[in-house]
Chains A and B, each alone.
Chain A
Amino acid sequence: MTLTIEPAIHEDIVPAPRHASAHAVAWQRVCRIDDLEPGWGEAVLLPERQVALFLVGAGELYAVDHRDPKTSAPVMARGIVGSKGARPTIASPLLKQVYDLATGECLSESGPSLATYATRVVGEFVEIAAAA
């Protein structure tokens, strides 16, 4: 899910807190929206985990766990983005399981699902809500 918050807040990207609170949903600013190319996933390094971030269409952002649920390798950002029916998907680059980008559900087999995280755009910046 992507929220776009207006008006734009103009300030430089600030470092994410090194120790996020254990329970709070903390929005973490990770990059500028124009750092992202449609369809090309990017890995994001957060203090508590690695996240795979995808810009799918204009302003349509998804964040999921960068770790492949099947092999535990940190690779999901390098998968191919696509669709199955109306659902946006990401295919694992290793063994090609297909996951729903929005819900994390594994669509190609009855396997473990992928954690998903909320995203929003604040001004020109992308933020991810990845609670610890």
Chain B
Amino acid sequence: MSDDRGDAVDEPATDARRVVVIGAGPAAHRLADAINSRDDAGTLHVTVLGDEPHQPYDRVSLSHRLLGEEDLTLVPTRPWDAARVRLLTGVRATRIDRAARRVHTDDGAEHPYDELVLATGSTAPVPEIRGSDHARVYRTLEDVDALVAECAQVVERSGRAPRVLVAGGGLLGLEAAGGLTGLGAEATVVHSGGWLMSAQLDEGAGQALSRLIAGHGIRLELGTRPQELLVENGSVHAVKLTNGKVVDADIVVFAIGVTPRDGLASAAGLDIGERGGVVVGADCRSSDPNVFAIGEVANVFGRCVGLVAPANAMAETVADRLLGGDAEFSSIDDATSLKLSGVDVASFGDALGATSGALEIVYADPARGLYQKIVVSQDAKTLLGGVFVGDAAPYSSLRPMLGRELGAEPAAYLSAGGEAPSGADLPDDALVCSCNIVTAGTVREAVRSGGGSGEGCHDLGSLKACTRAGTQCGSCVPLVKKLMEQELTAAGVAVSHALCEHFAMTRQELFDGVRVLGLASFDAIVERFGSGRGCDICKPAVASMLASQGGYILDDGRGSLQDTNDRALANMQKDGSYSVVPRIPGGEITPQKLAVIAAVAEKFGLYTKITGGQRIDMFGARLDQLPDIWRILVDAGFESGQAYGKALRNVKSCVGSTWCRFGVQDSVAMAIRLELRYRGLRAPHKLKIGVSGCARECAEARGKDVGVIATAEGWNLYVGGNGGLQPAHGQLLATDLDDESLIRYIDRYFIYYIRTADRLQRTARWIEDLDGGLDHVRSVVVDDALGLADELEATMHRHVDDYQDEWAATLADPERLRRFRSFVNAPDAPDTGLPRVIERGQPRPARPGEAPMPVSLGMPTAPPRETLSTEGSRS
């Protein structure tokens, strides 16, 4: 990025027209992307100067960052790799010399321009009150990371939850307060208006919102402002408000609006608006025709707007102008929606009903915290705006209808009106995604023909990738999906990706929702995304998603979600008894450990068989025997083999170069390394790995989800192999990898699969279903085309760090052991329903009509009826 600085005059060696962009936020990103994808003739060379050390990132989603190390880098990152675009990060512009057409930067360089674009954005103001130098703001990644760190410090210092006061009850303030509450802080929002979001909502909506926010445990102080931050020993301990109240606070965050960063422009003599901002016309040109301004720093139609959709529209306008077009920025779409888990708020258009003669149709249900209003013209036909609190479902289908005639009675669009009219009546030119300026017609066309590529987009993922609709703020995704389904239905393609009757979405959509919102229980997930009590389809699917968050799989109400085998951490057989498979990494085992397995099988009368995965399976254990069996195994150094889970099973290997005359690499060592890395990893389906020490492939690695085959230089990596009903050979993903690259690629591949596959979809079918198939997998895993690699690897590192053996964890906790009692009222009475006969020297279940034989060794022949007792059940 900032690799070739040093010359005092930084001039690209090209005769293209030089465009310098000051600022590297979302508006600059959109401009660079638009130029990069449209300037086919290569007439422009773009230099983007950003003072933050990052690539442009999505500020709209800052609250997600609060809840975890989320990568907010704006996609596509493609423009930054293009030769015609240069992104210099960590560089601050210090002066604009309009006469010489140069921008000076703080590293001493000068950047000559033919056209200059100001995209400096805005700053978060802090009022000059006493103690305000201790206040924080909520604006950049650094601000957010600092807030997270400070919360942790308060907890460490005081041993209690941090108290946070957020000044400002608008979008940003509420998102900050919600995010901080999610971090465990006690938040108070102080807002000068009489109700929350008073700039966007009317009083009824604001009051409904207040109830919802208070329901999230956030305290509210309305109609007042901070007057003084009370500081002791260098840190804040409370805030005094203008109404005289004193509120305890360790951290004070101001989110009271934005101030355009127009200092450079002002110093350069450009026209500045009355309340700040670089004055521009509909062509986004400032008072100097060679200088444009876009985004929050631009004062257009007399005001600056702190929203991403108008910033994108201005960027598109400037890109078009720079390429010789005559686009104009015509109107400000100031639709807003609040991104706060469990609180639905959205407004658009004339939400306050200011248009003369406007009619308001309101539906309010205070008991449910619901307030919905649409504003229509005097004849009740044309939609002028709307506000939704508590249930913003109508928002995404109504917003594109702004300024148009509604196809039905206005009230029909509110929740009280039952099933809302669908998007079928949307005209082709209606704007569906205002962030990326995508019309209903474009979406429909993409569904039909894939935007010209022939194959239509028949799933949401490819539709979003193709049209970019829904890739920024995401609020239009439900509508995009609805349009897609209508189009597919019209084309006679039946579509239901519903997980089951309780969740009308795919596993991937649900996984993303759960991950982004950080939901940690089935109840919270079904409340947010589903209905009913779940079933044997969605509960195990959710259990698998929650397992990706780490933790013991039967705790915290997750036990009842687990499928048959996971529930008992063992494999249920046809008679209700269980089989036990200890992990034998790479199939390598010492004689001493073999003897332990033999002793366990003998003591508990178990049938033993070697599995297909180089392990030993012991059959016929009763539920209540499992802990006793595992106590012996764990003491001997065994751990769970997860043969019961949709998880990594085993890594099969040949003996490799250590012994084999033909082997070229140590396949056993690599198999053990891989098995110890991925053990316990839960996935949409079971995962298997094979490692062969040479091309003879004795480990049958190409029949596994991941196949690793040694070459003289390293390893070839195959993916998507599988046995079973529809066998598939693994396909070559990358060749001659060293050990570390091999592991990095497998990390990325597994996590990408876990995030995006359907329920019970093996990797072979997943790759087939992916748009682009193996090439797509390669672009993500090897070429990092989606910029996801670091995040995918980090997720895997977390898994590796958090791994614990489920059986050791079970044995260590009496509460967990209760789950293995045979009967709630007779925990020590053995299950009597498991008759056995002896065959080929081992016990097996008796068939109907066969007389059961007494099997000695741990299987009581005549189990005594225990008397009722609660002992043990409560220990």
Known: A43-B822, A80-B560. A31 touches B572 (CB 8 A): no
Tell me which residues from 515 to 567 in chain B have a Cβ below 8 Å from any Cβ of chain A.
Answer: 532-536, 539-540, 557, 559-561, 563-564, 567
Structural contact, A35 and B560, CB atoms closer than 8 A: no
Interface-located stretch among B42-50, B212-220, B345-353, B867-875 = B867-875
- For A71, give its contact among B535, B540, B560, B574 (CB under 8 Å): B574
Structural contact, A31 and B535, CB atoms closer than 8 A: no
- For A93, give its contact among B539, B572, B821, B868 (CB under 8 Å): B572
Residues on the B chain within 8 Å of A75, using CB: 572, 576
Q: CA of A89 to CA of B537 in the docked complex: distance in angstroms?
A: 13
B107 at the A interface (CB under 8 A): no
Known: A30-B824, A40-B560, A80-B540. A74 touches B576 (CB 8 A): yes
Tell me which residues from 477 to 494 in chain B have a Cβ below 8 Å from any Cβ of chain A.
Answer: none
- For B826, give its contact among A18, A32, A45 (CB under 8 Å): A45
Residues on the B chain within 8 Å of A38, using CB: 557, 560
B825 at the A interface (CB under 8 A): yes
Structural contact, B824 and A88, CB atoms closer than 8 A: no
Structural contact, B868 and A29, CB atoms closer than 8 A: yes
B865 at the A interface (CB under 8 A): yes
Residues on the A chain within 8 Å of B156, using CB: none
Residue among A45, A67, A93 with the highest chain B CB neighbour number at 10 A: A45
- Chain A's closest residue to B866 (CB) is A45
Residues on the A chain within 8 Å of B623, using CB: 78
Residues on the B chain within 8 Å of A13, using CB: 825, 868-870
- Chain B's closest residue to A71 (CB) is B574
Q: CA of A87 to CA of B487 in the docked complex: distance in angstroms?
A: 34
A14 at the B interface (CB under 8 A): yes
Residues on the A chain within 8 Å of B870, using CB: 13, 31-32, 35
Q: CA of A18 to CA of B874 in the docked complex: distance in angstroms?
A: 23
A7 at the B interface (CB under 8 A): no
Known: A13-B870, A80-B536. A36 touches B824 (CB 8 A): yes
B: number of interface residues (CB 8 Å): 40
Structural contact, A73 and B535, CB atoms closer than 8 A: no
The B interface, classified by DSSP as helix, strand, loop or mixed, is loop
- For A98, give its contact among B502, B535, B568, B874 (CB under 8 Å): B535
A112 at the B interface (CB under 8 A): no
Q: CA of A54 to CA of B875 in the docked complex: distance in angstroms?
A: 21
B662 at the A interface (CB under 8 A): no
Q: CA of A39 to CA of B823 in the docked complex: distance in angstroms?
A: 16
Q: CA of A88 to CA of B767 in the docked complex: distance in angstroms?
A: 37
- For A82, give its contact among B534, B823, B874 (CB under 8 Å): B534
- For A78, give its contact among B567, B867, B868 (CB under 8 Å): B567
The A interface, classified by DSSP as helix, strand, loop or mixed, is strand
- Chain A's closest residue to B868 (CB) is A15
Shortest A63–chain B CB gap in Å is 11
- For B536, give its contact among A68, A85, A98 (CB under 8 Å): A98
- Chain A's closest residue to B531 (CB) is A83
Structural contact, A43 and B823, CB atoms closer than 8 A: yes
- For A31, give its contact among B568, B575, B824 (CB under 8 Å): B824
B829 at the A interface (CB under 8 A): yes
- Chain A's closest residue to B567 (CB) is A78
Structural contact, A80 and B825, CB atoms closer than 8 A: no
- For B564, give its contact among A14, A93, A98 (CB under 8 Å): A93
Chain B, 560-587, contact with A by CB distance < 8 Å: what is the 0/1 string? Answer: 1101100110001011100000000000
Known: A50-B833, A74-B576. A35 touches B535 (CB 8 A): no
Q: CA of A89 to CA of B831 in the docked complex: distance in angstroms?
A: 24
- Chain B's closest residue to A17 (CB) is B868
A3 at the B interface (CB under 8 A): no
- For B833, give its contact among A29, A73, A93, A98 (CB under 8 Å): A73
Residues on the B chain within 8 Å of A56, using CB: 533
Shortest A94–chain B CB gap in Å is 7
Residues on the A chain within 8 Å of B823, using CB: 42-45, 50
B769 at the A interface (CB under 8 A): no
Residues on the A chain within 8 Å of B535, using CB: 80, 82-84, 89, 91, 98
Tell me which residues from 33 to 87 in chain A have a Cβ below 8 Å from any Cβ of chain B.
Answer: 35-40, 42-45, 47, 50, 53, 56, 67-68, 71, 73-75, 78-85
Shortest A70–chain B CB gap in Å is 11
Shortest B469–chain A CB gap in Å is 35
Structural contact, B536 and A14, CB atoms closer than 8 A: no
Structural contact, B824 and A80, CB atoms closer than 8 A: no
B501 at the A interface (CB under 8 A): yes
Known: A38-B557, A78-B564, A81-B533. A15 touches B824 (CB 8 A): no
Structural contact, B560 and A81, CB atoms closer than 8 A: yes
Structural contact, A82 and B540, CB atoms closer than 8 A: no
Known: A30-B868, A40-B560. A94 touches B574 (CB 8 A): yes
Known: A39-B557, A91-B536. A14 touches B868 (CB 8 A): yes
Q: CA of A19 to CA of B252 in the docked complex: distance in angstroms?
A: 71
Residue among A36, A37, A78, A79 with the highest chain B CB neighbour number at 10 A: A78
Structural contact, B824 and A42, CB atoms closer than 8 A: yes
Shortest A121–chain B CB gap in Å is 14
Residues on the B chain within 8 Å of A78, using CB: 564, 567-568, 572, 576, 623
- 20 more contacts with CB within 8 A, not counting A73-B833, A88-B533, A93-B572, are A13-B825, A14-B868, A15-B869, A16-B867, A18-B865, A37-B557, A37-B559, A37-B560, A38-B560, A39-B557, A42-B824, A44-B823, A45-B825, A74-B831, A75-B572, A78-B576, A80-B535, A82-B536, A91-B536, A93-B564
Query: What are the nearest 8 A-B pairs in CB distance?
Result: A39-B560, A82-B535, A91-B536, A42-B824, A83-B533, A93-B564, A73-B576, A74-B833
Can you list 18 residue pairs at the A/B interface with Cβ under 8 Å?
Answer: A13-B869, A16-B825, A42-B821, A45-B825, A47-B865, A56-B533, A73-B576, A78-B567, A78-B568, A78-B576, A83-B502, A83-B533, A83-B534, A84-B535, A91-B536, A93-B563, A94-B574, A94-B576
Residues of B within 8 A of A (CB): 501-502, 532-536, 539-540, 557, 559-561, 563-564, 567-568, 572, 574-576, 623, 819, 821-826, 829, 831, 833, 865-870, 873-874
